[in-house]
Amino acid sequence: MLFRSPVQLRSWMLCGLPTDSLSTQNGIMMDKSTRWPLLIDPQGQANNFIKQMGKNKEMCANGMVIIKPTDKQYLRAVENGIRFGQWLLMENIGEALDASLEPVLLKQTFKQGGQEVIRLGENTIPWDEGFRFLLTTKLSNPHYSPETQVKVLLINFSVTPSGLEEQLLNACVEEELPELAEKKGELVVENAAMNKQLYDIESQILFLLANSTGNILDDTELINALAEAKVTSEEIKSKMQESEATSEEIFATSEEYRPAAYKAAIMYFCIADLASVDPMYQYSLPWFTVLYRKAVGNSEPSGEVAQRLDNISSYFKYSLYNNVCRSLFESHKLLFSFLLCVALLKGTDQVDALEWNFLISGMTPERLDLPNPDPSWIEPPVWSEICGMAGVPSMAGIAADFAKHAREWRLVFESTTPHTDKYPGCGAAYDLADPATSLKRLALTRCLRRDKLMDGVQAYVIAQMGSKYRSEDTRLNSS
């Protein structure tokens, strides 16, 4: 199992290592690996972490050099880094590595004149043990050949939903309860110091036992050391028990703010998915985190934790909406509102996956073969879509009910506002304000009057999140 002292982990976090467990494991692998790490880092977290470590003289005594594969003289920088024991960060690499780097990646060193050296091109360079080579790529899903993968340690630094939730929880606690966050950091240092003291005591006792001669009971120094060690050990264990109780209290208090962090993490992945709408829509994680911290600080205070969480989430949601809408084309603003709304409802299990899949694609597990009740106004494609709805378990009876009330449905079909009219039959229970039935209503609008679907989506967004999220009401100034 990978292990690193809490003090070391804390020093990494002060240099920008994200606080979630996955990032911690990635940091330990970077530190322990015998191969140079290649970090998949689309959000730039690993890049920032490495650069901050490079500024720390205790971690990086000889400094850091940052290069790119496109630099003309980057091999000269590699040679100097090896010679002077510097850290070398090569960022923005693609899916292939220059063949000239192979000796460095494989650490093909050898002895020459009693000195360890490496041959790079035509030059033989002295190898300094302080040298470290780190590579990062912004590609989110790169494909590296097996030949490349055996030369480096691939580490995926892409943020995960649970990892981002943990990071945002820590950010929220730091802004909301700074004293608690500070106390948590102090406990980490204190616990590490006490663990080290216990280890030193045990090492001293083992040393005295190993070097004791004759009868142990006659060794006064050993007996005195054991007595002192017992007293000191009891004191340390007592302090550690108090520290554990305090840590549990801090953890319980921090956990109360997790729902706000969970919702914020959902919102991040919602805006990250906008890149599939247009590659121009790229939003950095540091920007998102800063915006979240500001929302925690600027949202309305409350003595009730539940109300406070609601205030934070509501303020941040609207702040994020306004800031993102600045960069969107007008035609995509309603789409963003809709995706944001559905993502948040999905996060609380209020969206049926099959209903959602039918709404966006028209695909269902099966389609019922029912006769068209009134071909005079129901076009074959429309009836086929309605029969497809019956293939979704939660909408299984809609096609038969539609055929039963075909005359009433014709009035809806001919209406100028079919997306908001009251539906006949079982459709009468479908309400845009009710997350349990709202997608069913949109699905019926999609089948019956596709030209009114966008109006239906807008009505859905207003019913679920409020009129300020409608596309025409987009605010261009961040609150």
Q: What is the pLDDT of residue 478?
A: 37
439 close to 356: Cβ distance less than 8 angstroms: yes
User: What pLDDT, on a 0 to 100 scale, did the predictor assign at position 472?
Assistant: 53
* Mean pLDDT over the full length of the chain: 88
442 and 309 in contact (C-beta within 8 Å)? no
Q: Are 17 and 24 in contact (CB under 8 A)?
A: yes
Say how far apart CA 285 and CA 317 lie, in whole Å. 16
What pLDDT does residue 474 have?
Answer: 40
Contact 152, 107 (CB under 8 A): no
Q: How far apart (Å, rounded) are the C-alpha atoms in residues 393 and 386?
A: 13
| Predicted model pTM | 0.82
Q: What was the pLDDT predicted at 409?
A: 93
pLDDT at 473: 43
Distance CA 134, CA 66 (A): 10
Give pLDDT, residue 476: 36
Distant-in-sequence, close-in-space partners of 470: CB < 8 Å, separation ≥ 6: 334, 337, 458, 461, 462
Tokens of 468: 């300020």
Residue-wise pLDDT for 274-327, tens only, equals 999 998 999 999 999 999 999 999 999 998 999 999 999 999 999 999 999 999
Distance CA 420, CA 457 (A): 11
The closest alpha carbon to 367, from 347, 396, 387, 339, belongs to 387
Return the bridge partners of 110, or none: 117
Helix 258-272, helix 285-298: angle, nearest 10: 140
Cβ neighbours of residue 146 closer than 8 Å, sequence gap 6 or more: none
The whole-angstrom separation of Cα 340 and Cα 320 is 10
How far is it, in rounded angstroms, from Cα 390 to Cα 400?
8
Identify the pLDDT of residue 352: 92
**Segments of the chain scoring below 70 in pLDDT:** 1-5, 7, 216, 471-479
- pLDDT tens per residue across span 257-271: 999 999 999 999 999
Please state, in angstroms and rounded to a whole number, the distance separating the CA atoms of residues 467 and 459: 9
Q: What is the 3-state secondary structure (H, E, C) of the chain?
A: CCCCCHHHHHHHHHCCCCCCHHHHHHHHHHHHCCCCEEEECCCCHHHHHHHHHHHCCCCCCCCEEEECCCCCCHHHHHHHHHHHCCEEEECCCCCCCCHHHHHHHCCCEEEECCEEEEEECCEEEECCCCCEEEEEECCCCCCCCHHHHCCCEEEECCCCHHHHHHHHHHHHHHHHCHHHHHHHHHHHHHHHHHHHHHHHHHHHHHHHHHHCCCCHHHCHHHHHHHHHHHHHHHHHHHHHHHHHHHHHHHHHHHHCCHHHHHHHHHHHHHHHHHHHCCCCCCCCHHHHHHHHHHHHHHCCCCCCHHHHHHHHHHHHHHHHHHHHHCCCCHHHHHHHHHHHHHHHHHHCCCCCHHHHHHHHHCCCCCCCCCCCCCCCCCCHHHHHHHHHHCCCHHHCCHHHHHHHCHHHHHHHHHCCCCCCCCCCHHHHHCCCCCCCCHHHHHHHHHHHCHHHHHHHHHHHHHHHHCHHHCHHHCCCCCC
Q: By the 8 A CB rule, do 274 and 336 touch?
A: yes
Note every long-range contact of 230-233, with CB atoms under 8 Å and residues 24 or more positions apart, other chains counting: 232/197, 232/201, 233/198, 233/201
406 burial type by CB count under 10 A (0-12 exposed, 13-18 middle, 19+ buried): middle
Do the beta carbons of residue 82 and residue 131 sit within 8 Å? yes
Round to whole Å and give the CA distance between 262 and 247.
22
How far apart (Å, rounded) are the C-alpha atoms in residues 410 and 9?
67
Residues 168-202 pLDDT 10s: 998 999 899 888 878 877 777 777 777 777 777 77
* CB-CB contact of 389 with 395 (8 Å): yes
